Amino acid sequence: MSILNNAAAVLSCYGAGCTDVTVTEVSERLGLPKASSSRLLRAMREAGMLETIGGTRRHRPGRMMLDLAAAFRHSSSLISRASEVVVTATRQFGHTGYISLLDGREVTAVADFEGTNLLRVVSNIGRRLPAHLSATGRSLLARMSDEEVRRLYDGAPEAKVLLRELARVRSQGFAVSEQESTEGVDGIAVAVGDPSTNEAIALCIVFPHALVGEPERDRMIAALGDGAEEIARSLGDRAFIPPKLENRITT
């Protein structure tokens, strides 16, 4: 691999489950000699992509990465507009909200807005989840055709069940997750896109399973749906499906 590919592979190691790495860990994960891993991390430090933690040999993303992440979010008017909707819902209901993107078979949050309730879900920025096991992932996959989903999952055992789940999401206009990725945590999500940039994002609220009943959940779905529908109308997103609570299918 080229040094750029190797650097990208190092950065892909980071996430909610990995905040720092050593030369040895990079060597093992990427299958590189230790000497090559050491040179690579040194070059990334010198470029500002990584920095060491205090006097240790552990490396974390450099501040340049923060600047790039902020630039990415601000460069997307879709993310900016969706963030306004989620912030409003977060303030109204007190639960944590997210903006998430689909990346292959995974989904990751790119912006989060912490809730105000005493008992609330903490940030999951950087945590990558299987798309088929999350409300955000299913809301985004539902924007694809069944054939596109089949190609993406290419005979994977979860594909058949997933297609049934996506039919439900399309019928309802929203996706629900009940303690799938995190025990005791539920989530609701709606997806909207910008045809001019081929972007699609999920607007999500997560909340403690034991504390939120169906009426409040419905109000949160309506709040996200109304905001997303306004975005879809202004951007000409014909793939957007407004939430239809009367079509809810209970399990």
Tell me the pLDDT tens digit for each residue of 60-74.
888 887 777 666 656
Domain(s) labelled CATH 3.30.450.40 in the chain stretch across 76-247
pLDDT digits (tens, 9 = 90+) for 78-118: 998 999 999 999 999 999 999 999 999 999 888 889 888 76
Helices within 14-158 (DSSP H only): 23-30, 34-46, 63-75, 77-93, 135-141, 146-153
| Helix orientation angle between 77-93 and 214-235, rounded to the nearest 10 degrees | 160
Name, in order, each residue with C-beta under 8 angstroms of 102's C-beta and a sequence gap of 6 or more.
Answer: 131, 137, 140, 141, 200, 202
Domain(s) labelled CATH 1.10.10.10 in the chain stretch across 3-66
pLDDT band at 15 (very low <50, low <70, confident <90, very high): low
Classify residue 178 by its DSSP letter: E
The helix or strand, by DSSP H or E, that contains position 247, with its residue range, turns out to be: none
Q: Is the torsion defined by CA of 203, 207, 209, 210 positive or negative?
A: negative
CATH class of 76-247: alpha beta
* Owner of token pair 């590189």: 32
Beta carbons within 10 angstroms of residue 14's beta carbon: 17
- The answer on pLDDT for 246 being more than 80 is no
- The answer on pLDDT for 242 being more than 60 is yes
**Can you give the length of the chain in residues?**
251
CATH class of 3-66: mainly alpha
Q: Which of 34-38, 116-120, 125-129, 199-203 has the lowest mean pLDDT?
A: 116-120
